[in-house]
Chain A
Amino acid sequence: MTEGATTVAVRPTEGAARSLLAFRGVEMVFPNGVHAVDTVDMDIAPGEFVSLVGPSGCGKSTLLRIASGLARPTAGEVVLNTGHIAYVFQDPTLLPWRTVRQNVELCNQLKKLPKAERAEKARQAIEMVGLAGFENRHPNQLSGGMRMRASLARALTLEPEVFLFDEPFGAIDEITRERLNSELLRIFRTRAFAGVFVTHSIAEAVFLSTRVAVMSARPGRIIGEFDVPFPYPREPELRSTPEFAALTGEIGRCLRSGAQ
């Protein structure tokens, strides 16, 4: 559980060599004619954390929905080499009539896991996101950041190998957001999932990821991929280094070039 993210073995899969999640010529045209995504090809290997940045409306959420199976692409396919996938939505999507604990248990309850087992998984996940002591609160008694943590904990109980995040910290203030970034990295290193993380913040993307993919304006295509060379564990001070600034600058230029 505690070894480095890149050294975790993933159960062998047939076909696609080492990628857990692969987009193969994925294209999405909505019934109303909106061409949201245009031939996206991308591989996400175990231990990778890929951020997706792109102008608003370029099809990032659509891509995640396709990856999770919530939407079907009009062309191409998604190859998913695991049954353990979790999805953190842009809003926390907690059920207001359930306590934090009950919300975190929801996914495994829907999977009909035995009570004791799902309680234990929930306890661990709540601990991991730092919500211990708040188990019996209802969502309306939590701050926005705590709600997001609860949502994260709920996804963690699925013990995902592929973890999709759709701008989870978009509505959270800068300081809380940076703290949540650090905590997400800590979880990423202990749980070693493959992550796809949508964000509008280039700094957040670079800080978290092993790779940043830049999308063009609609119809969304991947117009640039940047490897992030900084080793883990990453400290918040990384954000103020010249190397960090250089990389974010480069990604920003790429983003602007594709924004028209």
Chain B
Amino acid sequence: MTSIIATMAPAEPVTFARQARMRGYVTMGGPPLIVFALFVAVWYLISYGLLSERRRFLLPPPHDVVSVGFLDWHNFAEILAGLGSTAAISLAGFAIAGTIGFTLAVVMSQSVAMERSFYPYAVALQTLPVLAMTPLVGLWFGFDTFSRILICSILALFPIITNTLFGLKSVEPSQRDLFDLMKAGRWTRLWRLEIPAALPNILTGLRISGGLSVIGAIVADFFFRQGDPGIGRLLDIYRASLETERLYAAIICSSLLGLALFLTNTLISRHVLRNWHASAHSKSS
């Protein structure tokens, strides 16, 4: 590997570059690692220092969580399967929310009448306590996958609508003038100007909704108990049986799922917006 690189470029710049990169990783990764170490230390302190042996199940020490939750293949496979099911639900809900939210925002951006008619309901949807709706959703649509996806998409819908609509409507007036001057039609304007200009906002909306769809899927797991169990149902089972090592492992895994989604979205945004002005980056973050 190194020899190939050495034949392609002078050795020195490569090592310099690599050193610089390593230094970059260290300065970037250092502080979070220190915090992580502190976190684990406090965890041990509580497990062994604060909790008596009888109550240690409340916070089992990290190595127990790892050995029971992650290294025991039977346990870990169960958690992975639950995670997969939840991930699939949240992805489906996210896709549905994305499609519907984007379409609604485009429709609202094209006509004031449409915006006036629909926007209040979009806002109402956000203030709607989705949890309060779950029993009804279950009665109407059953207690399995469909309802899980439905709750998930309702929860993820709003940020996509508002962010997309905001982006579509905040195109710079001078850019609109340019398209006016060329007598561009509504579709051309939408496709060539408004949607590209709204891209940073659309991506922001998607990022927020991605997080919400994971939350939605886990919450829905608690309520809709038919079909293959998601991570939310496993959390409830482990709680009921006081298997706290597995409970902690499941919690860690579900936060990793959220984190993975967030990182994916961030990377996609970065890639899509890589050529934009710095202001577009800050607008999107």
Residues of A in contact with B (beta carbons under 8 Å apart): 65, 68-70, 87, 89-91, 93, 95-97, 99, 106-107, 109-111, 138-141
Contact = CB atoms under 8 A, between A and B. Distances in A.
A110 B184 contact: yes
A106 B179 CA distance: 9
A87 B275 contact: no
Contacts of B192: 106, 109-110
Interface in B77-136: none
B181 A87 contact: yes
B264 interface: no
Contacts of B278: 140
A97 B180 contact: no
Interface in B179-219: 179-184, 188, 192-193, 196-197, 199
Interface stretch (B36-44, B155-163, B169-177): B169-177
B280 A70 contact: no
Given A96-B275, A106-B178, 6 more contacts: A89-B178, A91-B174, A97-B199, A99-B275, A138-B276, A140-B276
A216 to B, nearest CB: 26
A118 to B, nearest CB: 12
A111 B182 contact: yes
A68 B175 contact: no
30 contacts: A65-B177, A68-B181, A70-B177, A70-B180, A87-B177, A87-B181, A89-B178, A91-B174, A93-B172, A93-B175, A93-B177, A93-B178, A95-B175, A95-B196, A95-B197, A96-B275, A96-B277, A96-B280, A97-B199, A99-B275, A106-B178, A107-B182, A109-B192, A110-B182, A110-B192, A138-B275, A138-B276, A139-B277, A140-B276, A141-B275
Contacts of A68: 181
B181 A70 contact: yes
A93 B193 contact: no
Interface residues of B, number: 22
Nearest to A151: B178
Contacts of A70: 177, 180-181
A95 B193 contact: yes
Nearest to A69: B181
A154 to B, nearest CB: 9
B275 A97 contact: yes
Nearest to B177: A70
Nearest to B196: A97
Question: B178, B183, B188, B276: which has the most chain A beta carbons within 10 Å?
Answer: B178
Contacts of A139: 277
B191 to A, nearest CB: 11
A106 B181 CA distance: 12
Contacts of B197: 95, 97
Nearest to A97: B196
A103 B212 CA distance: 37
A140 B277 contact: yes
A37 to B, nearest CB: 18
Contacts of B182: 107, 110-111
Contacts of B280: 96
A89 B177 contact: yes
B201 to A, nearest CB: 13
Given A87-B181, A110-B179, A110-B184, A93 B174 contact: yes
Given A87-B181, A110-B192, A111-B182, A97 B276 contact: yes
Nearest to B184: A110
B184 to A, nearest CB: 5
Nearest to A110: B182
A127 B244 CA distance: 70
A67 B277 CA distance: 32
Given A107-B182, A110-B192, A111-B182, A96 B276 contact: yes
B284 to A, nearest CB: 12
Contacts of A93: 172, 174-175, 177-178
A98 B197 CA distance: 11
Contacts of B180: 70
B175 to A, nearest CB: 6
A110 B276 contact: no
Question: A91, A106, A141: which has the most chain B beta carbons within 10 Å?
Answer: A106
A56 B174 CA distance: 19
B37 to A, nearest CB: 40
A241 to B, nearest CB: 37
Nearest to B185: A110
B58 to A, nearest CB: 53
B177 A140 contact: no
For the complex of A and B, list the 4 residue pairs with the smallest distance between their C-beta atoms, beginning with the closest.
Answer: A110-B182, A138-B275, A140-B277, A93-B174
